[in-house]
Structure 1
Amino acid sequence: MTSQTAISSAEHNDHDVAVIGMSCRLPMATTPSAFWSLLKDGRDAITDIPVDRWGTPEESPEESAESPLGPAGIPRRGGFLDHIDGFDSRFFAISPREAVAMDPQQRLVLELSWEALEDARIVPGDLDGTRAGVFVGAMNDDYSALARGNGVDGITSHTMTGLSRGIIANRVSYTLGLRGPSLTVDSAQSSALAAVHLACASLHAGEATLALAGGVNLIMAPDSTVGASRFGALSPDGRCYTFDARANGYVRGEGGGLVVLKRLPDALADGDTVHCVIRGSSLGNDGTTSGLTVPAQEAQEEALRLAYQRAGVRPSEVQYVELHGTGTRVGDPIEAAALGAVLGTGKPEGSPLLVGSAKTNVGHLEGAAGIVGLLKTALSIRHRALPASLNFSTPNREIPLDQLNLRVQRELTPWPDEDSPLIAGVSSFGMGGTNVHVVLSEGPAGTSTSARAGAGASEAASFEGPCVWLLSGKSAGALADQAAQLHAFATDHPEVDARDIAHALATTRTTFEHRAAVIAHDRTDLLDALTALQDGRPSPHLIHAGQQPRPTGRT
């Protein structure tokens, strides 16, 4: 045991990295709070392939063995986003012609970047000229395949930049004026978590002062699903049976997620909310195995040991691991054996290591899978609860859970030992052997949202005098959308103090040309004014830019 591993898990070090902002767009979960609701309720987001994705059933050759919608053993289910063709190009100062030529993965990452920074209470414009970095994992290029199918006549002046995977990260840096490292990472299915590892390394080295890190994956062409099916990776049941006897492959999923990262000392000095802390991570490869895509237990053990050594965390202190957990017959037993050897057998008898996989909820997001696992674990730390891993009933006979001292998390529960620091790991493995493991823990006392939640008011409108919410948008429609989102948030989160939201809107949001102010004395006035703004109606508690305040008759 090195001097590093002897450090108490409650102690934080200068090399720790704080997660201060999050965003996601996942099947049936377009925000981190919606993702947490999906997880805690034990729901899955797996559906039939949308008929508008690859053509309607009438247009699709259902009787063809080439068709992913056909009966020839090719799965027709997955985790899909709605309306991946939608994009507000004007918001990002992109012409409609260029927007059409852009891979929707570029467009989605732009949106996620803005949302993650807002979640971190950072005005995106304030980063212009700083050494903020962007690290995005992506492995698929379906849109490129579709575009090139149009032949040379479909090539425009925007095709080269629109289809380059490298531009997925660079587009964010260009749009926001960021001068730190900017790269798209492709290590196959471990791409997103590899991007997080590289972002942390960049922060440690001083190359970046802040980093956006995560991944994206969109399923836009049938070819990639056909390829995965013929490779033998996909479950014919359209389910991911992680560590279960029924494990027969994975179900594809799409979406993306980003986190905003900052060195923990800097985050504490800046007064940032700390969702969780990245204590350490490792990145390596299987090397030569019995096959290019066959994982190596020894290499996975090495990745785990190195990550926890760097984190200064003892195996006995780890309470949960978010698995790579694809539900494959070869991969699951090897992952379980490595976890048991490094972590499970190091825990006391009767205190097994809890494990689970978000792939059972939203599918395998391939190049973005690692960020999904990290977000799930960060939200679990934030809410101090562990959600169920779905589709598990009978253990895979090749996974002796009791012997390995592992237990699949089968229901929503508190953490096993809430009196100890919450510590978890996240694994992500690429089919070419690139293994990543990240160690997470809760932040220092008083820095997280969960630490403050219990101190909030019993309802959102804990008013002392008038409360002012400032809203703005690049168009009247965008302003109305902001009102609708705030109305939904205030309704769904009555525990949040309205004055905290007022402060955030005034100090951490970009101001656009279309503006309005809601001035309310109680919760009813607040919600009524937001509804009026959404519907384009006047309200005595609503002021548009340039409009004089109207008396409310209150003192």
Structure 2
Amino acid sequence: MSISSTDDPIVVVGMAVEAPGGIDSLPEFWATLARSQEKIGPFPRDREWPIDQLLALGRIDGWRTVQDAGGFLTGATEFDAQFFGITPREATAMDPQQRVAMRVAWRALENAGINPGGLDGAQAGCWMGVSAIEYGPSAASVNEHSGYRATGTALGAVAGRISHGLGLIGSSISVDTACASSLTAVHQAAAAVRAGECAWALAGAVCVMGTAGAFFEFSKNNALATDGHCRAYAADATGTLWGEGAGVVVLERESRARELGHRVYGRLLGSRINHNGKGAPIAVPSAVAQERLISDTLAVADVVPEMIGMVEGHGTGTPVGDPLELAALCRTYGSIDRPGAGALLGSVKSNVGHAQAASGMLGLIKVLLCGANGQIAPSLWAQHPTTEIDWDATSLRLATELEPWEPIDGIRYGAVSSFGVAGTNAHAIIGMPVLQEDPDV
């Protein structure tokens, strides 16, 4: 399945975000990116996590040191249940990912100039990327959440809550392809709009960690950053650093957007999804599969690599994953005929950590904000790039400072990658028309 560029492409007309460090608006997110700020903080002390045990893991043979650090949503425990017509008891039993997703979707609609309170019966769909995060006590026990666990923890309820709360009657689907979930959701939502299954759609992703399980798992796998930083594509990267976040975009056909007077942030020129297939262990990325994916996306978007000015990579900061991804990027976007003159590469994970299912959505919104502001935001820790590739033999370069982004015939072209731990890969190419008005983002 693919989404291709036509005379009436799928466009992004609204968006909203929540990111670590108290970010809950597009201007705050852009300021963080443009100013090279890192929004990493200590473990939350209001989630009953075994923090002392976490910080002592490095003393166990075969386990890596865990720093008191991550990219956490400061408002993850906050929710105005009455505003969304939900009782306090039911709200407590709801996975916080449902709560965060509902309010971010609401703000995305407002950003698009759509009244969220007037959508009951709208032929609109909702696709949300999300993964299980072990929220709350076991359903196989008697507790205050009993009776609400079926809807409170079901992954399908993340998209379902949004559709239910707004009254949308189109498809409502939660997507779990691990860290590729965001772009998978966008890909499927755009396909549905193009096929006429719905008039327009919400597409997004959310990650709020109900437990510290991801930190335990990557400590044991020796893939967690030892210094509390996610140093994407850097020579001194030691592993990834977990984070949280949420983002939602509003998608519709460009003809509809023009008819309704909606601002067009960007056109989805092409998107593709594939899998690594057999071979290496399931969690190990595949440069071959990634290269094939990027080439397929360029073809369906009808875009040549030289047109791409910005690549928002996956860039988890792992010594295994980053070099494999860079190899694929260099063979597709890194023409050796134009050394030092090609696309600028970065990863939002360097600012806010690895938001897992929501990471690709934060990356997509980063690209859209860069396009709206006409500047490519820097990637942190890029001054000392990995030596695993020969940077002199590629036109790709890491974005080390805020740089102007010149359009090509009035369009800025960007690309976004996401790769899941179970082998799913996703890539999208966006064309962003120069905004004549104040972007207000």
Under a length normalisation based on structure 2, what TM-score does the superposition of the two structures give? 0.93
CA distance in 2, matches of 1:208, 1:331: 37
Q: State the match for 1:89 in structure 2.
A: 81
Give unmatched runs, 5+ long, in structure 2.
Answer: none
What amino acid maps onto 1:17 in structure 2?
I
Residues 26-84 of structure 1 show CA distances to partners (whole Å, capped at 9, x for unaligned) of 01221111000000111000111132233697xx457754999xx97123200111132
Q: Please point out which of 342, 356, 365 is paired with 2:332.
A: 342
Tell me the CA shift for residue 126 of structure 1: 3.0
Instruction: Answer 1 or 2: which has greater helix percent.
Output: 1
Residues 380-438 of structure 1 show CA distances to partners (whole Å, capped at 9, x for unaligned) of 00000011100123221212222132100000010155666210100000011111101
Of 109-118 and 220-229, the range deviating more from structure 2:
220-229
Is the Cα–Cα contact under 8 Å of residues 75 and 234 in structure 1 kept in the other structure?
no
Is the Cα–Cα contact under 8 Å of residues 57 and 219 in structure 2 kept in the other structure?
no
- Rg (Cα) greater in structure: 1
Q: State the match for 2:431 in structure 1.
A: 441
CA distance in 2, matches of 1:98, 1:50: 23
**1:92/1:248 CA distance change after superposition, 3 Å:** same
What amino acid maps onto 2:157 in structure 1?
I
Is the Cα–Cα contact under 8 Å of residues 56 and 66 in structure 2 kept in the other structure?
no
SS of the residue aligned with 1:90?
A: coil
Q: Please point out which of 12, 16, 24 is paired with 1:23.
A: 16
Q: Please point out which of 370, 377, 402 is paired with 1:380.
A: 370
CA distance in 2, matches of 1:224, 1:320: 30
How many residues align? The count is 436
CA distance in 2, matches of 1:428, 1:360: 15
Residues 425-452 of structure 1 show CA distances to partners (whole Å, capped at 9, x for unaligned) of 0000001111110101113x6xx3xx11
CA distance in 1, matches of 2:306, 2:337: 4
CA distance in 1, matches of 2:54, 2:77: 24
Q: Please point out which of 147, 166, 169 is paired with 2:159.
A: 169
Tell me the CA shift for residue 220 of structure 1: 2.6
Q: Please point out which of 286, 290, 294 is paired with 2:284.
A: 294
SS of the residue aligned with 1:248?
A: coil
Residues 117-146 of structure 1 show CA distances to partners (whole Å, capped at 9, x for unaligned) of 000000123322122111100113231xx3
Given the alignment of the two structures, is residue 390 of structure 1 paired with residue 375 of structure 2, yes or no? no
Is the Cα–Cα contact under 8 Å of residues 58 and 65 in structure 2 kept in the other structure?
no
Given the alignment of the two structures, is residue 138 of structure 1 paired with residue 130 of structure 2, yes or no? yes
Of 350-359 and 96-105, the range deviating more from structure 2:
350-359
CA distance in 1, matches of 2:9, 2:392: 33
**1:92/1:236 CA distance change after superposition, 3 Å:** same
**1:440/1:63 CA distance change after superposition, 3 Å:** closer
What amino acid maps onto 1:30 in structure 2?
D
Q: Please point out which of 274, 281, 287 is paired with 2:264.
A: 274
Tell me the CA shift for residue 185 of structure 1: 0.4
SS of the residue aligned with 1:442?
A: strand
Is the Cα–Cα contact under 8 Å of residues 289 and 296 in structure 1 kept in the other structure?
no
Q: Please point out which of 22, 28, 32 is paired with 1:34.
A: 28
SS of the residue aligned with 1:20?
A: strand
Residues 285-316 of structure 1 show CA distances to partners (whole Å, capped at 9, x for unaligned) of 11113211111111111111111111111111
**1:351/1:61 CA distance change after superposition, 3 Å:** closer
What amino acid maps onto 1:80 in structure 2?
F
Is the Cα–Cα contact under 8 Å of residues 339 and 396 in structure 2 kept in the other structure?
no
Taking the TM superposition and a 5 Å limit, the aligned residue runs for 1:521-532 are: none
**1:404/1:348 CA distance change after superposition, 3 Å:** closer
Residues 334-391 of structure 1 show CA distances to partners (whole Å, capped at 9, x for unaligned) of 1111111112117634412210010000110001100000000000000000111001
Given the alignment of the two structures, is residue 422 of structure 1 paired with residue 412 of structure 2, yes or no? yes
SS of the residue aligned with 2:17?
A: strand
Across the aligned residues of Structure 1 and Structure 2, the Cα RMSD in angstroms comes to: 2.4
SS of the residue aligned with 1:371?
A: helix
Is the Cα–Cα contact under 8 Å of residues 347 and 353 in structure 1 kept in the other structure?
no
What amino acid maps onto 2:334 in structure 1?
G
Q: Please point out which of 38, 44, 53 is paired with 2:38.
A: 44
Taking the TM superposition and a 5 Å limit, the aligned residue runs for 1:329-368 are: 329-345=319-335, 348-368=338-358
**1:79/1:175 CA distance change after superposition, 3 Å:** same
Greater length-normalized contact order (CA 8 Å, ≥ 6 residues apart):
2
Is the Cα–Cα contact under 8 Å of residues 75 and 229 in structure 1 kept in the other structure?
no
What amino acid maps onto 2:206 in structure 1?
V
**1:418/1:67 CA distance change after superposition, 3 Å:** farther
SS of the residue aligned with 2:187?
A: helix
Give unmatched runs, 5+ long, in structure 1.
Answer: 6-11, 455-492, 497-555
CA distance in 1, matches of 2:87, 2:231: 44
Tell me the CA shift for residue 223 of structure 1: 2.5
Q: Please point out which of 66, 77, 92 is paired with 1:100.
A: 92
What amino acid maps onto 1:251 in structure 2?
L
Q: State the match for 1:218 in structure 2.
A: 208
What amino acid maps onto 1:43 in structure 2?
Q
CA distance in 2, matches of 1:155, 1:372: 32
Is the Cα–Cα contact under 8 Å of residues 55 and 67 in structure 2 kept in the other structure?
no
Of 227-236 and 252-261, the range deviating more from structure 2:
227-236
Tell me the CA shift for residue 243 of structure 1: 1.3
**1:179/1:269 CA distance change after superposition, 3 Å:** same
Is the Cα–Cα contact under 8 Å of residues 127 and 159 in structure 2 kept in the other structure?
yes
SS of the residue aligned with 2:170?
A: coil
Given the alignment of the two structures, is residue 452 of structure 1 paired with residue 430 of structure 2, yes or no? no
Q: Please point out which of 231, 246, 263 is paired with 1:256.
A: 246
SS of the residue aligned with 1:77?
A: coil
CA distance in 2, matches of 1:206, 1:293: 36
Taking the TM superposition and a 5 Å limit, the aligned residue runs for 1:480-495 are: none
